[in-house]
Structure 1
Amino acid sequence: MTTSRPAPWVSVVLCAAVLVAGVYAAASGLGTTRLPLLAGGLALLVAVDLAEVRRYPVRTPKRVAAALLALRAALYVAVSYVDGSGLARLLLLLVPFTAYFAFGQATALALAAACLAVAVISTPGWYAHVEQVSDLVMFTVGLVIAIAMAAVAVRERDGQIRLQESHRTVAELSAAAERARVARDLHDDLGHHLTAIVVLLEKAAAFHDREPATAKAAVLDAERSARRALGEVRESVRSLRSFHLLAALDELVAGQGDVTLTISGAPDGHDTGALHALYRAAQEGITNSRRHAEATHIAVTVDLDAERARLTVTDDGHGMGAAAEGFGLLGMRERVALSGGRVDLASTSCGTRLTVTIPAARTA
């Protein structure tokens, strides 16, 4: 959406009205109307307006606006001299109207007072004629209406600009949130499986000569983990609506003899996003236990009841140290916080305990 210049039609409508009145005055013999000069001056005014709108579709720079305003004022006066109907004087209403957009209310009011003074000075003895007094009163009312219209148009324009800026900000924040989500998913999915593959291949290398069967089993487990990683990358583009926590956890620990899984309760009543956050936390907990704590046994416990969902990952490693506050834990905290939960981490030289608690979804 592009914000356009406020009320660009006002000047064109007034110029058309002056032209019609001038043609009528010339045909009726009212006053002295130089029709070719009148039409040429009005056409030049419209051309100036169209050129400005095309060059500056939203807001004209102040220096350019000042020059164009002076040009318009000169043309208004010139057109008034060749118009026998007297209606061309209404074009002076466009002076404060146009100035409002570039210079604000104070300048527009000052120019309105100047235009009224010009109208009064150009009408000698106006106070002795009821018609001229009425014309000046109507001119004053026209100035007030012009300024009020400009004020409304400027507020609408500025509101549209702010709305567009808000839309851009929301779009940028949404894009940033999506990038963060993708980064978390990549870290959680690929990081977990790649860590498992590295550990299994190291095991295969260590037992290659002494226990070929053990080494072969480790290689096969690494292959399975790689295939799971590929499958999860493909699944990451699908909706979370099809996510099943219990099956996902079973698949996560399958083939990993150093990991035990205990599940109690059912996921019914828990938000899909919360269950997915628990799964990602389990991935990260297992990965960190292997990568940083060098644990030999990891226990994953999931407890689902009507009040909350809780995941606990404990290991017998030597603690996680500074790695406990790495990117993985940060992503976990962000994901769990989006579901209204919390992450607690206790790490010592005797082992690490990760606890994720997310309240159950409330229904009206």
Structure 2
Amino acid sequence: MTSSPTALAPGGEPPSHVSGRPVPWVAPLLYAAVLAGGLYYDAVGAVSPPPSGVAVFVAGLATLAGLDVLERRRYRVRTPKGPAAALAGARLILFVVVTAADPAGLSRALFVLLPFTAYFAFGRRVAVALAAVCLGLLVAWFSIAAPGWYVNAAYVSDLLMFVLGLVLAVSMAAVAVGEQESRTRLEHALDEVEESHTRLSRYAERVAELTAAEERNRVAREIHDSLGHHLTAAAVQMEKAEAFLDRDRPTAERALADARTSAARALEEVRHSVRALRGEAGPFRLSEALAELVRRLDGARSHVTLETAGDESGYDAAALRALYRAAQEALTNALRHAAAGRVTVSATCGDVEARLVVTDDGTGLPPGPWEERGVGLRGMRERVRLAGGAVAVTSEAGRGTTVTVTVPRRSAAGR
């Protein structure tokens, strides 16, 4: 009989996850050896069993081999304990029948298969118990068939050989179970490694997608905050030139020059973005950038003033650029969309945080959440949030808008 291997849990019980049938050749090889020995003894006339005895002997071995084949086909992975117990009982009966009809007396070796197969189905304890039962049956048989056998060297030798066979059978089963358990653990480990590799590949794909999405959002903010602002500034200067064309030609010409400057600044912003991607961007000064921004936007239809204070050192360039982009967006909205006549920009770099306040007297924002009022405001909030800051917008229809942006100083953010 060959049965599925079972890696033993503490106490000798086999866990249910172990699969496969180790050393399937043991039972067929033992059947063949017993058959060959019995037929040889019958052929040379060493014993004279009745013809029916040889037929029963051969039929019994064939039945045992047939049971093995049926079991392997019915239970390819593991024989359940119930059917395994029934098969063990059937084999025990057949072992007795074959042994009684064996002309050579070699069939006693078949009994070692009981603890051997029981080890796979029921564990170590049951296998050792069955080995003890088999040994007791052999001693009982010797006591009935040959009283005083214990003083006969042949019987004692047979008993010792049988004990050795039991020990070898149980040991072989233990080794097979241990090897199968190691193989199963290795297969599980390989499956886990493959599964981990698959998860890591999915995570890597997800990270790549998120990185690409974040980069697209960053580029979108850059385009909106830089190119969009400078094009708006150019449009304001052109409107200024148109307004002064008939009454103050020099002012109109200066406005056209400023419009050209804004277009040039848009091109410079593109180049700056390329240099930033390459890590070649120079130092950024918020006060200088805001002064240039206000100078370009201050025009005939609107008046823009700037107040700056504090020390910019200790602030990340990303945080200062976030304030600058916020000022760009707020001024563009005030001049282009809110028709503001006066705009005040105030930037203060303190010991703990930098604060930007842009106030206008324009038409204000319609009712509703300000975050939903266009791409620019959403981009401003995203950019400032990445710098660890916050944006607040207060507005009242017909009474203007105030945009307040704060970002932490590097040393303060590190506390």
1:145 pairs with 182, 204, 212, which one?
Answer: 182
Is 1:346 the equivalent of 2:387?
A: no
CA distance in 1 between counterparts of 2:262 and 2:203 reads 45
CA contact 2:326–2:405 (8 Å) conserved in 1: yes
**Structure 2: how far apart are the matches of 1:193 and 1:139?**
79
Distance 1:264 1:203 in 2: 30
- Alignment correspondent of 2:323: 278
Identify which of 253, 256, 266 aligns with 1:219.
256
Shift of 1:174: 1.5
Q: Structure 2: 5+ residue runs without aligned partners?
A: 7-14, 31-109, 114-161
What's 1:249 paired with?
290
Most deviating of 164-173 and 251-260: 251-260
In 2, Cα distance between equivalents of 1:134 and 1:308: 76
Deviation at 1:272, TM superposition (A): 2.0
Assess, with a 3 A threshold, how the Cα gap between structure 1 residues 170 and 161 changes in structure 2: closer, same or farther: same
For 1:156-195, what per-residue CA distance to the aligned partner results, in whole angstroms no more than 9, with x for missing partners?
2211221222222122212211111111011000111111
Deviation at 1:319, TM superposition (A): 1.4
* Aligned AA (2:387): S
Instruction: Describe the SS at the equivalent of 2:388.
Output: coil
Identity of aligned residues (%): 42
Secondary structure (helix, strand or coil) at the match of 2:260 reads: helix
1:215–1:241 Cα change, 3 Å: closer
Q: Distance in 2 between matches of 1:253 and 1:331?
A: 21
The Cα shift of 1:359 comes to: 2.2
SS at match of 1:174: helix
1:233 is displaced (CA, Å) by 1.3
Which residue does 1:265 correspond to in 2? 310
The structure-2 alpha-carbon separation of the partners of 1:276 and 1:122, relative to structure 1 and needing over 3 Å to count, comes to farther
Whether contact under 8 Å (1:261, 1:300) holds in the other structure is: yes
Preserved contact between residue 297 and residue 315 of structure 1 (Cα < 8 Å): yes
**What pairs up with 1:64-213 in 2 under 5 angstroms?**
109=18, 111-112=19-20, 115-116=21-22, 118-119=24-25, 121-124=27-30, 125=110, 126-127=112-113, 128=162, 129=165, 130-213=167-250
Alignment partners' CA distance in 2, 1:194 and 1:347: 25
Q: How many residues align?
A: 260
Distance 1:308 1:119 in 2: 81
Secondary structure, counterpart of 1:299 in structure 2: strand
CA offsets, 1:24-57, max 9 Å, x none?
A: xxxxxxxxxxxxxxxxxxxxxxxxxxxxxxxxxx
Distance across 1 between alignment mates of 2:169 and 2:28: 11
Alignment RMSD (CA, Å): 2.7
Counterpart-to-counterpart distance in 1, 2:331 and 2:359: 9
Q: What SS is found at the alignment partner of 2:315?
A: coil
Question: Cα 1:211–1:247, aligned 2, differ >3 Å: closer, same or farther?
Answer: closer
Report the alpha carbon displacement of residue 250 of structure 1 after superposing the two structures with TM. Answer: 2.0
Inter-partner Cα distance in structure 2 for 1:190 and 1:273: 18
| Residue 329, structure 1, aligned to residue 377, structure 2 | yes
Amino acid across the alignment from 1:274: A
CA contact (8 A) 2:23 2:176 kept: no
Determine if contact 2:236/2:297 at 8 Å carries over to the other structure. no
Aligned partners of 2:233 and 2:296 also within 8 Å: no
**Aligned equivalents of 2:182, 2:29: Cα separation in 1:** 22
Alignment partner, residue 355 of structure 1: 404
TM-score normalised by L of structure 2? 0.57
Q: What do residues 269-319 of structure 1 show as CA deviations (whole Å, max 9, x unaligned)?
A: 222221111011011011111111111221110011101100001112121
Deviation at 1:211, TM superposition (A): 3.7
Q: Are 1:233 and 2:270 counterparts? A: yes
1:122-152 residue CA offsets vs partner (Å, 9 max, x unmatched): 3542445244443333222211111011111
